[in-house]
Structure 1
Amino acid sequence: MKAEIIAVGTELLLGQIVNSNGQFLSVELAAMGIDVYFQTVVGDNKSRIQEAIEIARSRADIILFTGGIGPTEDDLTKDALAAALGRSLHIDQLAMDHVQRFFDDRKIVMTENNRKQAVIIDGTTPLPNEIGLAVGLAFAHESKYYIVLPGPPREMKPMFTDKVKPWLLQHALTTEMPIYSKMLKFAGIGESLLEDKLIDLIRNQSDPTIAPYAKEGEVTVRISTKAPSEREAMLKLDVLEEQIKAILPENMYANIDVPLEQLLVDWMADAGLTLSAAESCTGGLLMESITNIPGSASMFKGGIVCYSNEIKKKLLNVPASYLEGPDAVGAVSPEVAEVLAEQVRMLGDTDFGLSVTGVAGPGYSERKPVGLVYVGLAERGHKTEVFELNLKGTRENIRLRSVKALLYRLWRRLEERKVETPLEGSALQ
């Protein structure tokens, strides 16, 4: 089935609010096997909303609205939809009771315009709003399905998940096979190179399908198929997963939707391995990414943000000759990255020590270009490795990509050591 999303709100057209609802709904609908071919944004104008409805009716089976169902005069979604379909509006008593309780519980006098949030179109199924006040709607009309949702994401998302998905499965998708997916996670490779490596599979795909999604420093590939049962779906998905893994064995780290840092924390904690870190240009971002993960206390002993040369010398014993003088290699160098990784590992008496030093920008440092970064990986009883990165983007991009690159190198080292991983669904099993 084909769907169209209509986001209502002049603030969206003015750029005052980002339409994150469209992204959420597109992902959710795709997972249900519903194709989203169009997204429309329209302002708070009844006639223009009606025009958008007429266009959507001509090309979509399911039409979803977000926004325009609040208490103010410019909240016109339900009015426009009722007019377009020739239906009437009325107050839903249960929704009205919910609105009234909100004000009574807070001992606030309810203004008359709040009654509008309890209005529904005749012959529709009300969708209770557990977070806010405006009631949503779901109904069928002349072989089309209409869903009306609130605009605030914190209200819209739970309403869609808890109310709309079951309604669609019961009323609109009765003859559709469910869709099943796997999320394959990759690190150490960009989206364009990954796509190039998988181009033959992507061009020849039919069932299952392949869809790459990129974030800073990581790429996700969703593989999906429709099948009568999960068992039949997994048989097809497992074959495709193995084909992809065979092409990118050094980059695919998991077949479940988990960030690399969580995989590493769980893996090292279970294996009894410990970690410490020394950060210069990333300013603690690496340590933050690790300590954000529950359970990291059992594997991460600590670290040092050695932003200045003084701290590098005093706390991590970087030779002054590396940092000062006309012949010095400078703080942004493989030599300094090596010392930082080794010294922080010894200081913490950990199995692994990580380091990062570089130029995050916006200007040059030590006459070295923005994006030049060195990351170090020290391991007890093994030779320290240093990797040069030449990154592009903003200061924030460079810092984040440096962290992801270093985590990737740690993952590769653990993989090479064949350390047993505890995480079910990991590509490392």
Structure 2
Amino acid sequence: MIAEIIAAGSEMLTPHRQDTNGLFLTAQLNDLGVQVAFKTIVGDNLEHLTASARTALSRADIVLFSGGLGPTEDDLTREAAAAALGISLRRDPAILTSLYKRFAARQMVMPPNNAKQADILDGATVLVNPKGSAPGQFVDTSVDGFRKIVILLPGPPDELKPLFEQAVKPLLAATLPPRYIARRVLRMPLIPESHVDARTAPIYREYTDVETTILAGHGEIQLHFVAAKATLAEAQARVNELASRIEAEMEDAIFSSQNESLEEVVLLMLGLRHLTLAAAESATGGLLASRLTAVPGSSRYFLGGAVVYNDALKTEFAGVPAELVATSGPVSEPVARALAEGIRTRTGASLGIAITGIAGPTPGTGPDAEKPIGLVYIALADAKETIVKELHLPGDRDRIRWWATQHALELIRRTLLEADRL
């Protein structure tokens, strides 16, 4: 079964608010084996809400509304759902009485417009809202001969979440056939999305019962596999089979088959080989160290290092000869090499990694004045040799800095893999 979530509220069509309920509901529905195929945000307009509801009913088995159940003129979810289903609303006396009592308990007179919160879709099960005045509603009906479940939920997250967990989820679990969703994620760094798709599409197209999604960004490609089956074991076996075939095709291009980050994988590889790492960063200003130290337990393998943004500190902290910086420029192959070797020696680490470059938006100065923005050198030193890579990275300052750290981590990973083969 597939679901659609409709978030009602004009405020979510502005830059200032976003639909966080949709993320919660998606996770909860996935737990029940229901895949969310569509999410829609609609402003407080009866015509638009009704049209969206009709579209959702035409393509989804379960339609969930969040928001629009308040007492004001722009709370229109009840009316839109009724119009889309072709049924009427009835005012529930018990709910109306509870609303009057709620206001009386606070020594307040209930405004007349609050009475609309007692309007219930014909045939709906009322879901008591322990956190607010607007009850939820659950309708299990038929549209054009197809079973449809329509659920109305309040918008405030502190009302929606307990109401869904305590009332909606048990109802769905009792009425839906058993279904389980399994997922796998494969991650590949520094490889074009088109190259990945060209090599993997002939494989994943064979698996029509597995949903494959390719996501690109932050210097990596992710392949997401999702399968829904009658048992979790069957669903997991299906995604694992596809993932195994993709792994055989892409081989070392894949750094993670269980959704680990690149920094997690690098630290794991260092640990398995009983190696330690230190870093000297100029252009990235500590971003590489930040990524590594965000992983719990990283101190066992990442010793630390230095942010050598100032040229004098390249000499003081990493032992780079001042004349080398002056003649070659801080953004150069010789300086990158010296940084990696120097930080390794100063810290006693097994490996030294160095990053120096011009991240922009202004160009370099002195010996680096004619060098382009995006020029980056990465060096990796061990006791025997030093590897240096020259990169020309496009984009703004943030992108260049992030991609530089991604290249540095991938250089470490690839170097360790190659060492294992020797």
Equivalent residue in structure 2 for 1:210, among 188, 209, 212: 212
User: Which deviates further from its counterpart, 279-288 or 49-58?
Assistant: 49-58
3-state SS in 1 of match to 2:320: coil
Higher Rg of the two aligned structures? 2
Distance 2:302 2:116 in 1: 50
Following TM superposition, by how much is the alpha carbon of 1:56 offset from its aligned partner in structure 2, in angstroms? Answer: 2.4
Distance, in Å, in 1 between the alignment partners of 2:292 and 2:17 is: 31
Q: How does 1:380-391 map to 2 (within 5 A)?
A: 381-391=383-393
State the secondary structure of the residue aligned to 1:339. helix
| Structure 2 counterpart of 1:425 | none
User: Where in structure 2 are the equivalents of 1:121-200 lying within 5 Å?
Assistant: 121=120, 123-124=124-125, 126=127, 136-142=136-142, 143-151=147-155, 167-171=171-175, 173-174=176-177, 177-200=179-202
Give the counterpart letter for 1:335 in structure 2.
Answer: P
Deviations along 1:256-286, one digit per CA (max 9) or x if unpaired, are 1221212333443465422211111111111
Letter in 1 for 2:13: L
2:10 matched to 1:7?
Answer: no
Cross-structure match for 2:56: 56
Decide which of 374, 379, 382 is 1:376's aligned counterpart. Answer: 379
Match of 2:65 in 1: 65
Q: 1:261 aligns with which of 260, 263, 269?
A: 263
Residues 190 and 217 of structure 1 are in contact (CA less than 8 Å); yes or no, is this contact kept in structure 2? no
Q: Is the CA contact 2:89–2:119 (under 8 Å) kept in the aligned structure 1?
A: no
Task: Write the distance in 2 (CA, Å) between the matches of 1:92 and 1:368.
Answer: 76
Quote how far apart the aligned CAs of 1:306 are. Answer: 0.9
2:358 matched to 1:359? yes
- Alignment-mate amino acid for residue 339 of structure 2: L
Rounded to whole Å, the distance in 2 between the matches of 1:109 and 1:363 is 64
Structure 2: distance between partners of 1:207 and 1:250: 27
Give how far 1:350 is off: 0.9
Worse-matched range after superposition: 179-188 or 32-41:
32-41
Letter aligned with residue 203 of structure 2? L
Residue in structure 1 matched with residue 248 of structure 2 by the alignment = 246
Given that 2:71 and 2:117 are in contact with CA atoms closer than 8 Å, whether structure 1 keeps it comes out as no
Partner of residue 427, structure 1: none
Query: Relative to structure 1, is the Cα distance of residues 341 and 119 closer, same or farther in structure 2, using a 3 angstrom cutoff?
Result: farther
- State the Cα distance separating 1:27 from its structure 2 match: 7.5
Question: Which residue pairs with 1:424 in the alignment?
Answer: none
**Secondary structure in 2 aligned to 1:6?**
strand
Task: Return closer, same or farther for 1:34/1:246 CA change in 2, 3 Å cut-off.
Answer: same
Distance across 2 between alignment mates of 1:31 and 1:241: 22
Please list the CA deviations of residues 326-379 of structure 1 after superposition, one character each: whole Å capped at 9, or x if unmatched.
Answer: xx3322222221111111111111112111111212232222222221212122
Using the alignment, how far apart are the partners of 1:184 and 1:270 within structure 2? 21
Within 2, Cα distance between the matches of 1:138 and 1:260?
A: 44
Query: How many angstroms apart in 2 are the aligned matches of 1:254 and 1:302?
Result: 24
Residue aligned with 2:398, SS: helix
Instruction: Report sequence identity in percent.
Output: 36
SS of alignment partner, residue 338 of structure 2:
helix
CA contact (8 A) 1:91 1:120 kept: no
Choose which of 272, 277, 280 in structure 1 pairs with 2:279. Answer: 277
Give the letter for the 1:49 counterpart: L
TM-score where L is the length of structure 1: 0.79
- Count of matched residue pairs: 404
Partner residue of 1:317 out of 316, 319, 322: 319
Q: Distance in 2 between matches of 1:164 and 1:253?
A: 40
Aligned to 1:81: 81
SS at match of 1:248: helix
Note closer, same or farther for the CA distance 1:256–1:153 as it changes in structure 2 (3 Å cut): farther
Contact 1:82–1:89, Cα closer than 8 Å, also in 2: no
Question: Contact 1:31–1:180 at 8 Å: present in 2 too?
Answer: no
Q: 1:385: how far off?
A: 1.0
Consecutive unaligned residues of structure 2, counting only runs of 5 or more, are none
Q: Structure 2: how far apart are the matches of 1:52 and 1:209?
A: 25
Select between 393-402 and 266-275 the one with higher mean Cα deviation.
266-275
Residue equivalent to 1:399: 401
Distance of 2:261 and 2:161 partners within structure 1: 22
Question: 1:39 and 1:387, CA in 2 relative to 1: closer, same or farther beyond 3 A?
Answer: same
Q: CA deviation at 1:65?
A: 2.0
- Cα RMSD (Å): 3.7
